[in-house]
């Protein structure tokens, strides 16, 4: 009860005080009262201290005095007041219960606020502007009354409890939300400002970089100009040196000119002197001239006398020299004649020796000509022998087989006949009127089986056929040989071209049988050729043999014959190794061969060429290397009986 | 009756084949071939005791045939192969060395001589 009364009293006292007198002293007193009331209406939790520790932060003596007087001998909640005055915040403020920051020390407010954060300490401030951080703040109103505002949140944050009567005392609550909102807005504004500043900063920095690069460029320009300047300075120095050199030269020239000037003067003086001398001498000469004239007269007179004498002398000289000349000439002529005689003799000798040599050489030439003719004959003979050799080889090869047929065939036939002979005998012994014909016939049957009668009997006609074949072929070959051996015919006969070609093929068969295919395309109605059969056959064998030789591994030879109005064309085409142009040009030359030594005489084609010419025909060759060769023979024909 | 020996005779001339068979049919069983290829085919079907071949044939000569036989039947007993022909040459010499050629007979052959040669060739097996 007393407490309440006391409280009411104090409140009214305060109100009266606040309503009544102005003046700072009173204000300070009010402050003191406020402090007292605040301390009385705040509870410090878990507080066991015996005294309430108040700290006054001020250097204002008046304020201190008034507050001290108010709080003198007062007790808050039964506890004594322990008042400390500080000019600056010290460490011990953390032990206080209440700190009053006077107007003159508001600069320390935040520092103290931070220090006491979380502690049960109440901050009372006088006219602190930042509502965010006040706890209990005293402020002057417009009509100069001292009011206070509360920031409950901050007070509660310090673990302090407020009593409701605090508000009754005339304080106003600070709207924290408003403060927050205000601070947010101010933050946003500040952010906006910051952004603006940032943008400005960016643009400024861009500008800076731009102007930096410009500066760099200009620096470069300045550098280059510096270089140019340096170069020019150098040039100036060198030019100067040159000028100096030239100056020196000019000076030297000037000096020399001076010297020569002096020389000229000297010479001029000398000239004057000599001129004088000359004049003197001229007068001397005049005198001498006069004397000479006189003497000339005298000389003339003497001259005429001498002239006459000379004439006489000259005559005698001429006569003498003429005589000498005559003698000389005769001597020379004599010598020449002798020389010519000698030369003639020498030449006569030379001519005689040359004559002898010539006759000798003539004899030698004749001898070698004979030799060559002989050798040619030999070679032709060799060629004939070679082709004959070819023939015989071919014939031997070819005759071999048919002879085998005949030979072996006869043998076989004999034995077959021996086999069937007993059976024939047996059969012929059977007489019509025999008793045991049946028995005899059975015996015959048995014998037939024993001796393999059927086999032998059936074989016989075949064997006979083969023997016949062999004999026929042999005859053919011999006929062919006869054809070829008749190369010395004297009269022309009708010749069948196809027969000649076939015979040639037959004779060469063993050479080509294995690897060459022959394609014969014989034309129809090929007319008869008037000529020498043996020689034409020789041509065919030569051309075909060459074709066979041209094919190395495998190939084909095509033989075509065709009848034309005036000619018979025979073509022999092979797909062998062919010839290049250089060889084609020489192919009909005698002794030209592409075969190794010993294998070809080189005469075959040249002889063939001659034979065809003899018959009034032509022989041509077409060839390509690696492709093949074609020989085309054209022979004129007699238009008698066309026979194929 | 003992089994006759089997002879394979190869020649491109039909008349030769006929005559050979007729000559030797009493003594041996004769099989005929007209070419090297036919001969090889027949050898697959028959076990042959002696092969006699002509040398000069189109497509495959006698020596070439022997080479084929040698490759296909490397363990054929020696002395089973005979060539007949006109004359010896380097190919045939090689055949003696490389392809176990037994004998070369020149044409024309005589019945008695050839029979003896064949018997020699065959009977070597028994030893």
Q: Rounded mean pLDDT of A17-38?
A: 72
pLDDT classification of B2: cutoffs 50, 70, 90: low
Q: Does B16 touch chain A (CB under 8 A)?
A: yes
Q: Does B24 touch chain A (CB under 8 A)?
A: no
Facing B22 at nearest CB: one of A459, A469, A513:
A459
Taking CB atoms and an 8 Å limit, are A459 and B23 in contact across chains?
no
Q: How many separate domains does chain B show?
A: 1
Taking CB atoms and an 8 Å limit, are A408 and B111 in contact across chains?
yes
A6-20, A239-253, A349-363: the lowest-pLDDT one:
A6-20
Q: Rounded mean pLDDT of A450-461?
A: 86
What's the confidence (pLDDT) of residue B100? Answer: 72
Beta strands B101-106; B81-85: pairing state = parallel
- The three-state secondary structure class of A89 is coil
User: What burial class does residue B26 get, using C-beta atoms within 10 Å of its C-beta: 0-12 exposed, 13-18 middle, 19+ buried?
Assistant: middle
- H helices of A430-452, in order, are 437-450
Domain range holding B100?
Answer: 6-123
Facing B86 at nearest CB: one of A397, A408, A463:
A397
Q: Which tens digits make up the pLDDT trace of A81-94?
A: 888 888 888 888 88
Q: Does B41 touch chain A (CB under 8 A)?
A: no
B8 phi, psi to nearest 5 deg: -105, 120
Q: Rounded mean pLDDT of A399-417?
A: 86
Q: Does A554 touch chain B (CB under 8 A)?
A: no
Q: Give strand ranges (E) for B20-91.
A: 29-33, 50-54, 81-85
DSSP state of A105: G
Taking CB atoms and an 8 Å limit, are A411 and B23 in contact across chains?
yes
What's the confidence (pLDDT) of residue A25? Answer: 66
- The structure tokens listed for A601 are 């005489």
Q: Does B89 touch chain A (CB under 8 A)?
A: no
Nearest residue of A to residue B22 by CA position?
Answer: A412
Instruction: Identify whether B31 is part of a domain.
Output: yes
Taking CB atoms and an 8 Å limit, are B23 and A415 in contact across chains?
yes
What's the confidence (pLDDT) of residue A22? Answer: 47
- Cβ atoms of A163 and A172 within 8 Å: the answer is no
Residue B1 scores a pLDDT above 50: no
What's the confidence (pLDDT) of residue A233? Answer: 92
A571 phi, psi to nearest 5 deg: -120, 130
Distance from CA of A544 to the nearest CA of B (A): 19
Q: How many CA atoms lie within 13 A of A194 on its CB side?
A: 6
Residue range A493-644, CATH number: 3.30.565.10
Q: Rounded mean pLDDT of A367-393?
A: 77
Taking CB atoms and an 8 Å limit, are A466 and B18 in contact across chains?
yes
User: Is domain A2-174 classified as CATH 3.40.50.2300?
Assistant: yes
Cα A487 to chain center, whole Å? 71
A4-13, A119-128, B112-121: the lowest-pLDDT one:
A4-13
What's the confidence (pLDDT) of residue A264? Answer: 92
Beta strands A567-574; A555-563: pairing state = antiparallel
For chain B, give the mean pLDDT. Answer: 81
The candidate with the shortest Cα–Cα distance to B50, out of B85, B92, B84, is: B84
Distance from CA of A627 to the nearest CA of B (A): 22
Distance from CA of B18 to the nearest CA of A (A): 8
Instruction: Identify whether B33 is part of a domain.
Output: yes
What's the confidence (pLDDT) of residue A598? Answer: 64
The candidate with the shortest Cα–Cα distance to B15, out of A165, A473, A35, A504, is: A473
pLDDT classification of A141: cutoffs 50, 70, 90: confident
What's the confidence (pLDDT) of residue A202? Answer: 92
Between B28 and B126, the higher pLDDT residue: B28
**What is the reported pTM?**
0.43
What's the confidence (pLDDT) of residue A8? Answer: 64
What's the confidence (pLDDT) of residue A641? Answer: 47
What is the distance between the terminal CA atoms of chain A, rounded to a whole angstrom? 175
Between B1 and A4, the higher pLDDT residue: A4
pLDDT classification of A391: cutoffs 50, 70, 90: low
A518 phi, psi to nearest 5 deg: -105, 125
Q: Which tens digits make up the pLDDT trace of A508-521?
A: 887 787 788 999 99
B54 phi, psi to nearest 5 deg: -75, 150
- The three-state secondary structure class of A517 is strand
- Cβ atoms of B6 and B47 within 8 Å: the answer is yes
Predicted ipTM of the assembly: 0.82
Q: Kind and range of the H or E element at A28?
A: helix A24-41
Between A320 and B105, the higher pLDDT residue: A320
- Cβ atoms of A601 and A591 within 8 Å: the answer is yes
Contacts of A462 in chain B (CB under 8 A): 18, 22
Opening angle at CA A239, ends A236 and A245, nearest 5: 145
For chain A, give the mean pLDDT. Answer: 85
Nearest residue of A to residue B20 by CA position?
Answer: A408
Instruction: Identify whether B1 is part of a domain.
Output: no
CB A397: neighbour CB atoms within 10 A? 20
Distance from CA of A499 to the nearest CA of B (A): 23
- Cβ atoms of A136 and A97 within 8 Å: the answer is no
pLDDT classification of A244: cutoffs 50, 70, 90: very high
- Cβ atoms of B114 and B85 within 8 Å: the answer is no
Across the strands, what pairs with A561?
A570
Across the strands, what pairs with A494?
A530
How far is the CA of A448 from the CAs of A168, A395, A432, B30, in angstroms?
169, 43, 21, 21
CB A290: neighbour CB atoms within 10 A? 8
Q: Rounded mean pLDDT of A96-122?
A: 88
What's the confidence (pLDDT) of residue A475? Answer: 87
Contacts of A469 in chain B (CB under 8 A): 15
Q: Rounded mean pLDDT of B16-21?
A: 88
What's the confidence (pLDDT) of residue B86? Answer: 64
**Rounded CA Rg of chain A:** 82
Taking CB atoms and an 8 Å limit, are A400 and B108 in contact across chains?
yes
Between A378 and A586, the higher pLDDT residue: A586
pLDDT classification of B48: cutoffs 50, 70, 90: confident
Q: Which tens digits make up the pLDDT trace of A340-359?
A: 989 999 999 999 999 999 99
Across the strands, what pairs with A138?
A126, A148
Contacts of A416 in chain B (CB under 8 A): 22
Taking CB atoms and an 8 Å limit, are A510 and B20 in contact across chains?
no
CATH of the domain at B91: 3.40.50.2300
Q: What is the dihedral of CA A547, A556, A540, A501, to 10 degrees?
A: 170
Instruction: Identify whether B50 is part of a domain.
Output: yes
| Sequence spans of domains, chain A | 2-174, 493-644
DSSP letters spanning A566-604: SEEEEEEEE-SS---HHHHHHTTSTT--SSPTTT--S-H
Q: Does A462 touch chain B (CB under 8 A)?
A: yes
pLDDT classification of A21: cutoffs 50, 70, 90: very low
- Cβ atoms of A380 and A447 within 8 Å: the answer is no
Taking one residue from A and the other from B, the number of pairs with CB-CB distance under 8 angstroms is 58
Q: Which tens digits make up the pLDDT trace of A605-635?
A: 888 898 898 899 999 999 999 899 999 999 9
- The length of chain B in residues reads 127
What's the confidence (pLDDT) of residue B64? Answer: 84
A156-160, A297-301, A350-354, B80-84: the lowest-pLDDT one:
B80-84
A623 phi, psi to nearest 5 deg: -155, 150
Taking CB atoms and an 8 Å limit, are A514 and B13 in contact across chains?
no
**Angular region, A144: left φ>0, alpha ψ -120 to 50, beta rest:** left
Q: Does A392 touch chain B (CB under 8 A)?
A: no
Contacts of A510 in chain B (CB under 8 A): 56, 86
- Cβ atoms of A93 and A55 within 8 Å: the answer is yes
Q: Does A65 touch chain B (CB under 8 A)?
A: no
Contacts of A513 in chain B (CB under 8 A): 56, 58
Taking CB atoms and an 8 Å limit, are B19 and A405 in contact across chains?
yes
Q: Does B57 touch chain A (CB under 8 A)?
A: yes
């Amino acid at each position: 009860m007393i407490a309440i009364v006391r409280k009411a009293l104090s409140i009214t006292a305060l109100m009266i005080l606040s309503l009544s007198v102005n003046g700072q002293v009173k204000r300070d007193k009010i402050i003191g009262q406020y402090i007292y009331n605040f301390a009385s209406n705040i509870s410090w939790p878990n507080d066991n201290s015996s005294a309430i520790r108040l700290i006054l932060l001020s250097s204002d003596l008046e304020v201190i005095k008034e507050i001290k007087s108010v709080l003198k001998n007062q007790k808050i909640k039964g506890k004594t007041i322990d008042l400390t005055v500080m000019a600056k915040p010290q460490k011990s403020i953390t032990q206080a219960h209440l700190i009053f920051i006077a107007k003159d020390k508001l600069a320390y407010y935040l520092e103290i606020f931070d220090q006491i954060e979380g502690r049960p300490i109440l901050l009372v401030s006088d006219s602190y502007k930042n509502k965010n951080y006040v706890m209990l703040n005293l402020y002057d109103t417009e009509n100069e009354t001292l009011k206070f505002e509360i920031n409950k949140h901050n007070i509660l944050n310090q673990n302090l409890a407020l009593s409701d009567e605090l508000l009754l005392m005339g304080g106003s609550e600070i709207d924290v939300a408003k403060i927050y909102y205000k601070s947010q807005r101010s933050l946003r504004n500040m952010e906006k400002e910051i952004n603006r500043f940032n943008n400005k900063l960016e643009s400024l920095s861009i500008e800076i970089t731009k102007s930096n690069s410009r500066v760099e460029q200009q620096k470069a320009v300045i550098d280059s100009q510096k270089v140019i300047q340096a170069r020019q300075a150098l040039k100036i120095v060198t030019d100067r040196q040159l000028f100096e050199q030239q100056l020196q030269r000019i000076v030297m020239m000037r000096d020399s000119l001076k010297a020569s000037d002096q020389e000229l003067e000297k010479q001029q003086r000398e000239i004057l002197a000599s001129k004088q001398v000359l004049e003197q001498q001229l007068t001397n000469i005049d005198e001498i001239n006069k004397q000479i004239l006189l003497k000339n007269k005298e000389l003339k007179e003497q001259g005429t006398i001498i002239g006459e004498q000379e004439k006489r002398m000259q005559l005698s000289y001429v006569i003498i020299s003429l005589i000498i000349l005559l003698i000389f000439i005769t001597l020379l002529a004599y010598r020449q004649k002798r020389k010519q005689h000698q030369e003639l003799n020498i030449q006569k000798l030379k001519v005689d020796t040359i004559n002898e040599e010539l006759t000798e050489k003539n004899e030698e030439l004749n001898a070698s000509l004979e030799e060559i003719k002989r050798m040619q004959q030999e070679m032709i003979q060799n060629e004939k022998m070679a082709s004959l050799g070819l023939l015989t080889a071919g014939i031997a090869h070819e005759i071999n087989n048919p002879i085998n047929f005949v030979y072996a065939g006869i043998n076989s036939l004999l034995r077959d006949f021996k086999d069937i002979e007993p059976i024939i005998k047996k059969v012929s012994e059977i007489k019509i009127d025999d008793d045991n014909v049946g028995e005899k016939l059975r015996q015959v049957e048995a014998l037939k089986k024993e001796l393999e009668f059927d086999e032998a009997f059936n074989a016989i006609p075949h064997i006979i056929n083969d023997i016949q074949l062999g004999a026929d072929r042999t005859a053919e070959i011999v006929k062919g040989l006869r054809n070829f051996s008749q190369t010395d015919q004297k009269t022309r006969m009708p010749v069948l071209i196809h027969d000649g070609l076939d015979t040639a093929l037959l004779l060469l068969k063993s050479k080509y049988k294995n690897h060459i295919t022959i394609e014969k395309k014989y034309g129809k109605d090929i007319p008869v050729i008037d000529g020498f059969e043996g020689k034409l056959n020789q041509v065919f064998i030569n051309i075909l043999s060459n074709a066979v030789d041209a094919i190395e591994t495998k190939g084909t030879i095509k033989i075509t014959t065709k009848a034309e109005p005036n000619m018979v064309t025979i073509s022999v085409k092979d797909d062998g190794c062919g010839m290049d142009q250089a060889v084609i040009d020489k192919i009909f030359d005698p002794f030209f061969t592409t075969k190794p030594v010993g294998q070809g005489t080189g005469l075959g084609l040249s002889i063939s060429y001659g034979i065809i010419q003899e018959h009034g025909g032509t022989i041509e060759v077409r060839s390509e290397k690696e492709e093949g060769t074609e020989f085309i023979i054209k022979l004129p024909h007699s238009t008698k009986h066309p026979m194929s | 009756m003992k089994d006759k020996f089997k002879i394979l005779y190869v020649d491109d001339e039909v008349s030769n084949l006929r005559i050979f068979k007729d000559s030797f049919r009493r003594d041996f069983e004769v099989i005929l071939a007209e070419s090297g290829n036919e001969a090889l085919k027949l050898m697959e079907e028959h076990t042959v005791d002696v092969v006699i071949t002509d040398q000069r044939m189109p497509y495959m000569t006698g020596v070439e045939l022997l080479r084929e036989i040698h490759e296909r039947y490397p363990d054929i007993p020696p002395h089973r192969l005979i060539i007949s022909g006109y004359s010896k040459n380097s190919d045939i010499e090689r055949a003696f060395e490389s392809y176990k050629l037994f004998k070369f007979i020149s044409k024309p052959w005589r019945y008695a001589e050839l029979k003896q040669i064949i018997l020699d060739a065959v009977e070597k097996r028994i030893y």
